[in-house]
Amino acid sequence: MSKRVLAVDDSKTMRDMVAFTLKREGFDVIEAEDGMAALDKSGDGAYDLVISDVNMPRMDGITLVGKLRENPSFRTTPILILTTEADQEKKAAGKAAGATGWIVKPFDPDQLVDVVRRVCR
Amino acid sequence: MNDFEQFKQTFFEECEELLQRFEDVAVTLKAGPNDPEGLDDLFRSVHSIKAGAGAFKFQRLVVYSHEFENVLDLIRSGKLELADGDPELIVQAGDILNDLVCAARSGQDVQDGHEAEMLERIRAMGSQTGTAAAPVSEDASKPDTNGDFVVRFRPHRAMYETANEPQLLIQALKAVGDISILADLSRLPELSKLDPAEGYLSWTIEVRGAENEEAIAEVFEFVDGDCDLVIEPISAAPREEGQAVEEAPSVATPAETTLATSNTPPAAGANAAPAAAQTNSIRVELGRIDRLVDMVGELVIAQAMALDSLSELVDIRHVKQLQALEDLTMRTRQLQEGVMAVRMQPLKALFSRFPRVVRDLSKKLDKNVRLELEGEATEVDKTIIEELSDPLTHMIRNCMDHGLETVADRVAAGKPEQGVVKLSAEHRNGRILIRVSDDGRGLDPEKVLAKAVANGLVEEGADLSKEEIEALIFMPGFSTAAAVSDVSGRGVGMDVVRRNIQKLGGRVTVESEFGKGSTFTLALPLTLAVLDGMLVDVACERYVVPLSTIVETVCAEPSMIRDLPEGGSVMSIRGEMIRLIDLCSNLRLSREGKTEPLRKLAVIVETEFGRRVGLVVDELLGQQQVVIKSLETNYHSIDGIAGTAILGDGRVRLILDIDGLANMETSTSLASEGSVDTMDPIISGGVAE
């Protein structure tokens, strides 16, 4: 069984990069283009990891993290938020909402993999 | 080159959309408060551009969009109110942003200082609030020690609530230095009093040879505040101040990086493929293309129906109508080809992940391996590409783990130290062939057979050809590795690979020479949607034979056919003996009432391996393009049947699976010898479930 990751970002470039990197790591990548879409897809099956952008239309990443953590099947799922280095507030807000950690944009594949390995079995 | 280079094109397309959106909103801005959603849009557009620009190292764009984004953030959060002239400034700032994006895209830099004035004005605008976005900087790294630290780590409940896992963090420390761990279980209560969400354990970890304290702190970055964490040098030996300054901080903020390099020309990588970046393309949601493919499929059926019902009009009075119909047929076909081409993608995206797989694995296995890629530009249906990822990864792992020898063994065998795994793709006969080959030890037929016998897959003393023995590795429950390794022996065998490929209407075969290496060949259809077929009639039933497999059709004189003593018959054509497959008996049809034609009509087809067999049919009904519908999704797989198609008369017909049929015949004859009837599932090409 390969692991499943829900990759949430309104930027196709970012989704592509995350998907490309994690597919090489053996993940099945399910993509969503904002928080609402991610919530819609949160029901279909268990996820081993969620990676979400913060700034997105309809529902932002921080709200998404909070909503996912309310769902019992996401209680122990690592959730990473994609943020920029300057966004110290976002990191704190993300963590308060229940995010496991963050990935700083821009990232290269190795950095992403390193972070994922730190939070994902 | 960065692996992400391939996404540059997507990025620029996205930029175009974002800039358009930006402009649409920016022109509606007015002094004073604005629509919050619009302001969010502005911010997000610039933010997304910045993030992408950072990934591709377009430094000027990063610096500019960073400042711009900061101001927009202040505006949207209400910290900065727009004054007269500001909306106009934002529109102009957007134009400059556009210029910088275009420059990055074309690879031709705009002149120095093009954005300098605007940058100043944006900064000035932001600084009005007194909360100007100062670049966040972190302290320079502290004086180094000898690299030995002791880490005391006690997670709190909050840490578990964010799904952080102490074990993984400790694992991550291994990358920082050599570690030794001591767990403290003293706070662990009795089982009855244990709260699973509480943190009772704590650890003392010695890290030796770490670069600096930050490297360790970085591992615990996410749990800062959610645990007790103390990092102490074991024997602190502070360095001279000057020395410490020379050391680059381990984490540079983007702001620092970008400011430092903003005056230097963009990195070479940014200019790498200006030509490619200008390819005109649009992004289309896959669902829309699929609907289009479906609709064209229905059109093909409708067109075939029209042709079918009007084909009786072979009257001179209707010549115009017939011509129009012919024209329609041709156009429909062109349309279909055009639509299918939209779904085609080069294999590059898939192949590009394997260098890394090989690199990681060669480290793990301690083997010296070079990966050669060929035919990356070959285009295949997107669905097929997606489904190929797992099987190909598995096969490459298999080659490296089981196929290639260790360096010592290779040298002993007189081979170069470096093993070669080759991945190639090509189009052939309307199919795509993907090969994974290695120059390793190859399959040892004796070992394979012994293993199969030991696993009860083949009876002792079975007389099998080399090809038949090699095919055994695809049988469920067969594994050539003596011990299950964590590299390729994950309980997934070549049988799963074969099943996945078969699901795609493809085949996997292996050719191997003991001592010299193995080649696995995947043969796949170019697309899963359409097929050129020959409609044949057998005992009043109609079947579709894939046109690409047909070599010729022969109306056989009785003298050309000879019956074999063990059953079955062969036909001699121009001195070549070709085995005949009687479809009527093979598909268990009955000829009730209908007599067999006097002279046998044989459709000579070629299997994937180039073997020729003759299918005995009653009548040829003509060529037709058919839309393939999977049998498995609606029913279940049947030996000898590749799928179904809806024809012009509106009826569902079965598409014959030539290799399946050819192999079915082999297995029956083998089974009739009473030696290897257990082989049925493997050579019949059926899905063993």
B633-650 confidence digits (pLDDT tens): 777 878 888 888 877 777
- pLDDT: which is higher, B190 or B68: B68
Give the Cα separation of B500 and B506 in Å (integer): 9
**Same domain, yes or no: B385 and B515:** yes
Over 60: is that where the pLDDT of B270 sits? no
- CB-CB under 8 Å, A106 with B162: no
Is 0.90 topped by the overall pTM?
A: no
Nearby residues of A15 by Cβ (< 8 Å), 6 or more positions away: A7, A9, A31, A33
What proportions of chain A, in percent to the nearest 5, are helix, strand and coil?
Answer: 45, 25, 30
Residues of A in contact with B221 (CB under 8 A): 101
As a whole number of angstroms, the distance between CA B281 and CA B10 comes to 9
Q: What is the pLDDT of residue B476?
A: 75
Q: For the ranges B250-264, B347-361, B623-637, B648-662, which has the lowest average pLDDT?
A: B250-264
CB A118 to CB B222 under 8 A?
Answer: yes
Q: Which two tokens stand for residue B500?
A: 């996945």
Residues in chain B within 8 Å Cβ distance of A88? 136
pLDDT at A73 over 50: yes
B61 and B75 fall within a common domain: yes
Query: Residues B377, B383, B385, B386: what is their CA dihedral angle, to the nearest 10 degrees?
Result: 140
Give the pLDDT mean for B276-285.
65
Distance CA B198, CA B155 (A): 9
Residue B316 pLDDT level (bands cut at 50, 70, 90): low
Indicate the residue among B246, B278, B294 that finishes a domain.
Answer: B246
pLDDT at A80: 92
B167 belongs to a structural domain: yes
Q: How far apart are CA B404 and CA B489, in angstroms?
A: 15
**Is residue B134, in this structure, part of any structural domain at all?**
no
CA-to-CA distance for B457 and B478, rounded, in angstroms? 8
Q: In this structure, is residue B233 part of a structural domain?
A: yes
CB–CB of B369/B404 below 8 Å? yes
Residue B357 lies inside a defined structural domain of this protein? yes
Lowest mean pLDDT of B71-75, B143-147, B484-488, B513-517, name the range: B484-488
Cβ distance A17 to B255 less than 8 Å, yes or no, reads no
User: Are residues B499 and B550 both part of a single domain?
Assistant: no
**Pair (B99, B213) in one structural domain:** no
Contacts of A101 (CB under 8 A, 6+ apart): A78, A80, A81, A115, A118, A119, B162, B164, B221, B222
| Structure tokens, B171 | 């694992």
Q: Which of B26, B18, B114, B20 is nearest to B63 (CA)?
A: B114
pLDDT above 60: residue B78: yes
The residue that leads in pLDDT, A114 or B567, is: A114
CATH code for the domain in which residue B97 is found: 1.20.120.160
pLDDT interval class at B685 (50, 70, 90): very low
Q: Are residues B24 and B63 in the same domain?
A: yes
Give Rg (Cα) of chain A.
13
Residue B52 lies in a domain: yes
Looking at the structure, tell me whether residues B505 and B551 fall in a common domain: no
Q: Are residues B354 and B474 in the same domain?
A: yes
Last residue of a domain, one of B345, B366, B386: B345
CB-nearest partner of B7 from A13, A57, A108 = A13
Find the residue in A nearest to B7 (Cα).
Answer: A13
Lowest mean pLDDT, pick from B517-526, B538-547, B570-579, B633-642: B633-642
H/E segment holding residue B39: helix B36-55
User: Is B362 found in the same domain as B392?
Assistant: yes
Smallest CA-to-CA distance from B51 within B332, B236, B254 is with B254
Torsion of Cα atoms, B152 then B166 then A51 then B75, to 10°: -30
Tell me what the mean pLDDT of segment A15-27 comes to: 87
Residue B381 has pLDDT above 80, yes or no: yes
**Of the candidates B7, B169, B219, which has its C-beta nearest A17's C-beta?**
B7
Is B173 part of any domain?
yes
Give a yes or no: residue B94 inside a domain. yes
Task: Read off the CATH number of the domain in which B424 is found.
Answer: 3.30.565.10
Say whether both B237 and B340 belong to one domain.
no
Let me know whether B117 and B217 are in one domain. no
Let me know whether B499 and B643 are in one domain: no
Spell out a b/e string for B491-500, using b for 16 or more CB atoms within 10 Å of the CB, else e.
ebbbbbbbbb
Considering only CA atoms, which of B388, B385, B657, B430 is closest in space to residue B530? Answer: B430
Q: B384 and B242, same structural domain?
A: no
> In B406-475, where do the E strands start and end?
419-428, 431-438
A44 interfaces chain B, CB cutoff of 8 Å: no
The whole-number pLDDT of residue B610 equals: 64
Domain of B55, in residue numbers: 3-127
Cα gap B211→B214, rounded to integer Å? 8
Number of domains in chain B: 5
Percentage of residues of chain B with pLDDT beyond 70: 82
Which CATH number does the domain housing residue B213 bear? Answer: 3.30.70
Select, from the ranges B130-134, B178-182, B304-308, the one with the highest average predicted confidence (pLDDT).
Answer: B178-182
pLDDT at A56: 87
ipTM (interface pTM): 0.83
Query: DSSP string covering B96-165, please?
Result: HHHHHHHHHHHS-PPPTTTTHHHHHHHHHHHHTTS---PPP--PPPPPP-SS-EEEEEEE-HHHHHTT--
Assigned domain for B49 exists:
yes
